[in-house]
């Protein structure tokens, strides 16, 4: 539960901008005579940090350890929260927009993005290396629940800050409170991390066997089980483990990890999450109604993430992924058909909910479960970093091309996402191994074969 706070901050940090972006435009962009391209780059600047954090996560998790990397990420979240809310502090006079102030704001957002990139890779890695095999899927899935819950929480925080206030007050003060509010969960995350141990896998990779055994005895009820897991880990780890080559187990496992990440984004989920109010407004809903529909969709996301948590260790990873892909394809192809027919109705909302529910019970959490568990101990840090970096690149590519694709043809846009869902199902069916109930060390033996 402590590690999943990294996921909560992931969701919180990426969604907090939604309530503040108009104020940022009014306070930092328009007074300087800058255009919408600069505003768009400012709103999405955290994504640059996410890519950097994803790339660096392997280096940090292998050198510092999983726990210290998460501590570092919590520090970045804290600095970003306070700095984004009050970017003038130490460097610029308050209330005077300037290019330097705009750049400083973006710098703080990039720092937060680096924290997101680190947490998105290392939080599920930490959980998977601590969890017993029979409940690993369930516990890693809690990380996705925390991401969605973090997004939902910040929507309510932003709404609560802005409720009943004038636009002038929000532009002067309210947006600052929105960013600064993240400092509270960031500080709690950092403090709680001090009370949890390093993972036994990393401890053995660092030649600290006694400490690793001590941790295993804490997290396994039966002493015999702790000894068995310890022997399995030790057998899979050599003194040169930390310097193992990325392709030590072949290229197939790396390709599967990358494609899992890419398909999670290419099915178009972040279009549904980032542009939900705009989608609902384009369907004819009033602005307030579109925000309400977005919140409804948020609750649906939370509910179906719980479905994944309850079923992943009973049904397995592959059945959930394939079922989710089929559900997403049905939702997107239906929306595409409605768009081609120029039909705007409650059916569109229903199919969007079918689509997002299918994602949240499958690719949302299960992709993170598989990325955290399919890689052998010796290359996990490096391999997860590569997979997560590809995920953020794919996120940026899909999110940034959506407006242009919609201008060309909305029907074809949604049809493309439906096609990606079908291909993702075929990919899982043909290439992805089932990992339910297998220890992380058993996965290493699988790739050796």
Residues 288-326: tens digit of each pLDDT: 455 556 667 777 888 888 888 888 888 888 999 999 999
Q: Say which CATH superfamily domain 246-449 falls into.
A: MFS general substrate transporter like domains (1.20.1250.20)
Determine the 3-state secondary structure of 300 from DSSP.
Answer: helix
Return the pLDDT at 273.
63
Return the pLDDT at 287.
45
Question: How many angstroms separate the CA atoms of 144 and 306, rounded?
Answer: 9
Percentage above 90 pLDDT, the chain? 30
Break the chain into its structural domains and give their ranges: 1-196, 200-243, 246-449
Show contacts of 63-69: CB within 8 Å, 24+ apart. 65/198, 65/199, 65/202, 65/206, 66/122, 66/125, 66/126, 66/129, 66/198, 66/199, 66/202, 67/126, 67/193, 67/196, 67/197, 67/198, 67/199, 68/198, 69/118, 69/122
Return the pLDDT at 239.
44
pLDDT tens sequence across 37-57:
777 778 778 888 988 998 898
- For residue 84, which of 169, 147, 21 has the smallest C-alpha distance? 21
Protein fold of 1-196: Growth Hormone; Chain: A; (1.20.1250)
pLDDT tens sequence across 417-433:
999 999 999 999 999 98
- For residue 117, which of 300, 327, 386, 432 has the smallest C-alpha distance? 386
Which residues lie closer than 8 Å to 346 by C-beta, 6 or more apart? none
In the block, residue with structure tokens 């932003």: 158
Cα–Cα distances in angstroms (integers) from residue 114 to residues 49, 50, 70, 109, 189, in the given order: 4, 5, 11, 9, 16
Those residues of the chain that have pLDDT short of 70 are 94-95, 221, 237-244, 271-295, 344-345, 403, 449
């Amino acid at each position: 539960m402590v590690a999943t706070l990294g996921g909560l901050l992931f969701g919180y940090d990426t969604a907090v901008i939604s309530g503040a972006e108009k104020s940022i435009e009014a306070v930092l962009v328009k007074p300087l005579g800058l255009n919408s391209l600069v505003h768009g780059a400012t709103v999405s600047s955290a994504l640059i940090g996410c890519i950097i954090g994803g790339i660096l996560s392997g280096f940090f998790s292998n050198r510092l350890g999983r726990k210290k990397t998460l501590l570092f990420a919590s520090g970045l979240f804290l600095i970003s929260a306070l700095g984004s809310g009050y970017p003038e502090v130490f460097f610029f006079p308050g209330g005077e927009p300037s290019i330097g102030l705009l750049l400083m704001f973006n710098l703080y957002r990039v720092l937060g993005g680096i924290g997101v990139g680190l947490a998105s890779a290392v939080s599920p890695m930490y959980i998977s290396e601590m969890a017993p095999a029979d409940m690993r899927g369930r516990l890693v899935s809690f990380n996705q629940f925390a991401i969605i819950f973090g997004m939902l929480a910040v929507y309510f925080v932003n709404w609560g800050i802005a409720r009943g206030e004038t636009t002038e007050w929000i532009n002067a003060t309210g947006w600052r409170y929105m960013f600064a509010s993240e400092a509270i969960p960031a500080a709690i995350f950092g403090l709680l991390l001090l009370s949890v141990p390093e993972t036994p896998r990393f401890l053995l990779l660092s030649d600290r066997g006694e400490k690793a055994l001590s941790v295993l005895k804490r997290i396994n009820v039966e002493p015999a089980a702790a000894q068995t897991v310890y022997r399995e880990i030790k057998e899979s780890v050599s003194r040169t483990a930390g310097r193992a080559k990325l392709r030590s187990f072949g290229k197939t496992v790396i390709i599967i990890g990358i494609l899992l990440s890419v398909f999670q984004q290419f099915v178009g989920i972040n279009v549904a999450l980032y542009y939900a109010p705009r989608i609902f407004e384009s369907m004819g809903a009033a602005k307030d109604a579109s925000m309400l529909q977005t919140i409804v969709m948020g609750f649906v996301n939370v509910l179906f993430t719980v479905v994944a948590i309850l079923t992943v260790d009973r049904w397995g990873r592959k059945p959930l992924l394939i079922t989710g892909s089929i559900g997403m394809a049905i939702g997107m192809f239906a929306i595409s058909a409605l768009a081609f027919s120029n039909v705007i109705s409650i059916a569109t909302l229903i199919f969007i909910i079918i689509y997002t529910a299918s994602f949240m019970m499958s690719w949302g959490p299960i992709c993170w479960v598989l990325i955290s568990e399919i890689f052998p101990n010796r290359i996990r840090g490096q391999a997860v970093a590569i997979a997560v970096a590809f995920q953020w690149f794919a996120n940026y590519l899909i999110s940034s091309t959506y407006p242009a694709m919609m201008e060309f043809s909305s029907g074809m846009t949604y049809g493309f996402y439906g096609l990606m869902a079908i291909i993702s199902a075929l990919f899982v069916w043909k290439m992805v191994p089932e990992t339910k109930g297998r220890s992380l060390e058993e996965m290493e033996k699988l790739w050796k074969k």
